[in-house]
Amino acid sequence: MKKDIAVLAGMSRPTVDLWLGRYAADGVVGLLAQQPGGPRVQVSPDVRSRVLALTRATPPAETGLSHWSTRTMADYVTRVHKMPVSHHWVANLWREHGLKPQKQGTFKLSKDPAFADKVADIVGLYLDPPGGAVVLSLDEKTQIQALDRTQPLLPIEFDRSEQRTHDYVRHGTTNLFAALNVGTGEVIGDCVPNRNGAAFLAFLKKAVAPHAGREIHVVLDNLSTHTTPEVMTWRQAHPNVHFHFTPTGSSWLNQIETWFGIITRQAIRRGTFASVQVLIRTIRAYINSWNIEPRPFTWTATADEILAKVRLTQLSIKKLVANNSK
């Protein structure tokens, strides 16, 4: 009989004897008091989503933390949310999603009343784009300065706020319109002297031209230059082009902003440009080089995770305000 139990339970005879002995000595209480071996308890999707949302948010003010570690996260979730997890599990989850809280920033809270709907709309495009459609992430980086440095830029001077006015000469500025193909990672860009409705419409036509005949979804900020009468008239004549506006104050939701950060770090911030023309040539060369082997960004956060993060951040702010008002 014990042999049959061992086969059915998938364990050895000595293990069966051990558990039968515990039952004989202490009854059911003896069994419940022990932690049997075997598969680990699976963490529910709700807990996973909550931890991911917390990870992408600044730690609540009452923790006094500047960023999460695996141990502080496991302790916080276990203590505050009554969801027992280990720091090993947190580390595996972060590794699975490529999260490094000690290196990431936070986003600005939006007061847009349609925030949730816009997040769901845009994140849905990133995670599950319509079949056969093209998704373009479009925006402009304004007032890029052509700086001709008179002294080498030291590592401590990476931040522009640390630069001294006598360390460089300004030769002017340019504005960069850019559109990222979310599916392929390819970037189309144009440098223009002015960022007005006419310049935007001219670039929009250039960005969608390679995809004629297809459904095109454009993610962009709700700026006045994006909704001029000329732009609206053009959109009516091109019903295959659909605009998806990011929530107010939420440019971080636009993937092209990530690319803007990359080109700034790799080509602009520490560059030396003797003229605006040199700066423009550098930007064009960078775009051409990027497109040799374009790298699409992988969007990992679901709309639910983002909204959960916002709710947690708002709750943290409310608690901080309440504590300061006492």
Q: Kindly report the CATH number assigned to the domain that includes residue 278.
A: 3.30.420.10
Strands 187-192 and 168-181: antiparallel
Structurally, how many domains does the chain consist of? 3
Same domain? For 146 and 176 the reply is yes
For residues 77 and 200, give the distance between their C-alpha atoms in angstroms, rounded to a whole number.
46
- 121 and 93 within one domain: no
Do residue 258 and residue 276 come from a single domain?
A: yes
Q: What pLDDT does residue 164 have?
A: 45
Instruction: Provide the percentage of residues in the chain whose pLDDT is more than 90.
Output: 28
Domain containing 1 equals: 1-38
Note whether residue 297 is domain-resident: no
- The answer to whether position 302 is within a domain reads no
- Asked if residue 75 belongs to a domain, the reply is yes
Q: Are strands 241-245 and 187-192 parallel, antiparallel or unpaired?
A: unpaired
What the block records as the tokens of 277 is 């023309």
Mean pLDDT of 13-25: 74
61 and 124 housed in the same domain:
no
Considering the domain boundaries, does residue 306 fall inside one?
no
Alpha carbon 195 to its chain centroid, in Å, reads: 26
Residue 57 lies in a domain: yes
On whether residue 153 sits in a domain, the answer given is: yes
Residue 52 and residue 145 in one domain:
no
pLDDT given at position 27:
65
Show Cβ contacts of residue 267 under 8 Å, excluding neighbours closer than 6 positions.
282, 283, 286
Pair (194, 232) in one structural domain: yes
Q: Higher pLDDT residue, 238 or 40?
A: 238
Residues 214 and 149 in one domain: yes
**In whole angstroms, what is the distance from residue 44 CA to residue 294 CA?**
36
pLDDT grade for 203, boundaries at 50, 70 and 90? very high
Q: Which of 55-69, 124-138, 230-244, 277-291 has the lowest mean pLDDT?
A: 55-69
Instruction: Examine residue 212 and state whether it is found in any structural domain, yes or no.
Output: yes
For the chain, what is the mean pLDDT? 79
pLDDT at 162 over 50: no
Contact 171, 165 (CB under 8 A): no
Please check whether residues 10 and 83 belong to one and the same domain.
no
Q: How confident is the model at residue 28 (pLDDT cuts 50, 70, 90)?
A: low
Q: What is the largest CA-CA distance in the chain?
A: 90
Q: Is residue 80 domain-shared with residue 14, that is, in the same domain?
A: no
Do 164 and 191 have their domain in common? yes
Residues 259 and 179 in one domain: yes
Distances (CA, A) of 170 to 155, 167, 193: 21, 10, 15
Helix and strand tally (H, E) in the chain? 12, 5
Residue 220 lies in a domain: yes
The pTM assigned to this predicted structure is 0.60
Residue 276 near residue 146 (C-beta atoms within 8 A): yes
Tell whether the model's pLDDT for residue 236 goes beyond 80: yes
How far is it, in rounded angstroms, from Cα 254 to Cα 263?
15
How high is the pLDDT of residue 63?
72
Residues 140 and 268 in one domain: yes
